[in-house]
Amino acid sequence: MKEKETPSRRSFLKNITAATAAMAVAPGLMAAEKRNQAFEILKRGNSVSANNQINIALIGAGGQGAADTDVAVQIPGVKLVAVCDLYDGRLADAKKRWNADIFTTRVYKEILNRPDIDAVIIGTPDHWHQTISIDAMHAGKHVYCEKPMVHSILEGPAIIKAQQETGKVFQVGSQGVSSLGNEKAKELFRSGAIGQLNYAEGFWARRMPLEVWQYPIPADASPKTVDWETYISNTNKRPFDEKRFFRWRNYTDYGTGMAGDLFVHLFSSLHLVTGSYGPEKIYASGGLRFWNDGREVPDVLLGTFDYGQNAMHPAFNLSLRCNFVDGTSGTTYLRLVGSEGAMDITWDKVVLKRNKVFASDDPFYLEKLRKSGDTNPVRKKMMPPEEIVYEAEKGYLGGPYDHMNNFFTAIRNNGKVIEDATFGYRAAAPALLCNDSYYKNSPMFWDPEKMILKKV
């Protein structure tokens, strides 16, 4: 482990004075504070220079593609010029939403052939990410590709190769990794704030039909308005099925289940914070408990993951859970647990809980202290804060903005992104292997550094 990266308790204790200083400049916040709780505001300078215009196109203009594009066009100097989608209704919506003059098409290669387009956002279902990403980079476009980067574990290396060969900027869309919350958690982890990491857990709970992929199907959905043949051209051939098109997450030909949709966000953040490459052993269990709507994927999924020791962290265990039949709908968290504390991490907040000062009534311990010359071992101690809350300042534009801004800054400066193809593959792989483990009813073994599936 490189010395400067070693989580060190001393550096955390030194930095904690900064939190105390922040408390002093934010007295208003202190009124709302609980006893033994400190509070620090996380800030981001959002200055962006638009020194040259970047023309973008969106490929896959559904929910997330549209949300990404709304964020992208807020960034100074970024202009949307074209949109591609396989459903005509999305193309009509795009003209209404952004600009009636944008070029629209069902054929993504028409987008890639346009010399005026510098970068594309890929918001298609998962089974199209790899092909379009590779084609786009070879056509000279920078790529922002939604998560999970790939639909199957076998697809990752070709994207990494295309990125290396073309030198184009390639960012995967797990936007949390660029957030103030993840950034603060990384800093705290490195400073030793929770001591030695031994366990992490993450959870997603959902319940409402729209949350669990029962999306509305447009009244005009038909083989005339949807280019079904192109949609299934890289997977199993089937007759037109509107559910398979508009509720694609429920079917393994197109989606990657709960793990590919949600666990991948938790892997991305966990890897960012800890510097990890990923787990070595993956085991999943679960079942279809409620949503018997024809879906091929479970609605309750549990995954356990063994992370080996490496230069950045000790060995630890991870437990991830996702429940689509959960009455507490809306609950989600990522928690890192160490020998001296734990932290709950979100995109705009980190709650750090620390152990109290060690005080023991163990007679052996007291005797040891007396022998060491401590004549007053039962004297009360000063207590450190039990809980420190780090929260983004009001008006923070959030992880989605930071992540998109990171992409365009890398294009402008010929720089690096936070979530390149290698990072994206290392986050997607354990999620995809979770699905493989579930269907095979067997643990999967992975070499996270070399990114190779291990045979047992």
Ligand X SMILES: NC(=O)c1ccc[n+]([C@@H]2O[C@H](COP(=O)([O-])OP(=O)(O)OC[C@H]3O[C@@H](n4cnc5c(N)ncnc54)[C@H](O)[C@@H]3O)[C@@H](O)[C@H]2O)c1
**Considering beta carbons, is residue 89 or 308 the nearer one to ligand X?**
89
Question: Taking CB under 6 A as the rule, does residue 108 contact ligand X?
Answer: yes
> CA–CA separation, 399 vs 155, rounded Å?
27
- From candidates 56, 61, 159, 334, binder to ligand X by CB under 6 A: 61
> CA–CA separation, 141 vs 302, rounded Å?
38
Question: Taking CB under 6 A as the rule, does residue 125 contact ligand X?
Answer: yes
**Considering beta carbons, is residue 143 or 197 the nearer one to ligand X?**
143
CA distances from 89 to 69, 92, 225, 226 (A): 17, 5, 7, 9
User: Considering only 34-42, 58-66, 97-105, 193-201, which stretch makes contact with ligand X by CB under 6 A?
Assistant: 58-66
From the centroid of its chain, how far is CA 7?
A: 23
**Considering beta carbons, is residue 191 or 250 the nearer one to ligand X?**
250
> CA–CA separation, 241 vs 221, rounded Å?
10
Radius of gyration of the chain (CA): 24
> CA–CA separation, 323 vs 330, rounded Å?
10
Q: How far is the CB of 248 from ligand X (least distance, A)?
A: 6
99: Cβ–Cβ under 8 A, 6 or more apart, which residues?
80
User: Considering only 78-86, 285-293, 311-319, 362-370, which stretch makes contact with ligand X by CB under 6 A?
Assistant: 78-86
- From candidates 12, 58, 60, 281, binder to ligand X by CB under 6 A: 60
Cβ atoms of 348 and 392 closer than 8 Å: yes
Single-letter amino acid code for the residue at 44: R
Total residues contacting ligand X by CB under 6 A comes to 25
Question: Taking CB under 6 A as the rule, does residue 406 contact ligand X?
Answer: no
- Torsion angle defined by CA atoms of residues 399, 405, 409 and 410, in that order, rounded to the nearest 10 degrees: 50
Question: Taking CB under 6 A as the rule, does residue 399 contact ligand X?
Answer: no
Q: How far is the CB of 107 from ligand X (least distance, A)?
A: 8
- From candidates 7, 156, 173, 181, binder to ligand X by CB under 6 A: 173
H or E, element range at 369: helix 363-371
201: Cβ–Cβ under 8 A, 6 or more apart, which residues?
318, 319, 320, 321, 333, 334, 335, 337
- From candidates 69, 104, 124, 346, binder to ligand X by CB under 6 A: 124
**Considering beta carbons, is residue 63 or 415 the nearer one to ligand X?**
63
User: Considering only 82-90, 284-292, 391-399, 429-437, which stretch makes contact with ligand X by CB under 6 A?
Assistant: 82-90
- From candidates 163, 166, 175, 191, binder to ligand X by CB under 6 A: 175
Cβ atoms of 416 and 410 closer than 8 Å: yes
Question: Taking CB under 6 A as the rule, does residue 90 contact ligand X?
Answer: yes
Question: Taking CB under 6 A as the rule, does residue 126 contact ligand X?
Answer: yes
- From candidates 56, 81, 82, 86, binder to ligand X by CB under 6 A: 86
Question: Taking CB under 6 A as the rule, does residue 85 contact ligand X?
Answer: yes
Q: How far is the CB of 432 from ligand X (least distance, A)?
A: 12
Which residues in 202-231 contact ligand X (CB under 6 A)? 230-231
Q: HSE, CB side, 13 Å, CA atoms: give it for residue 204.
A: 22
**Which positions touch ligand X (CB under 6 A)?**
59-65, 84-87, 90, 108, 123-126, 128, 146-147, 173, 175, 230-231, 261
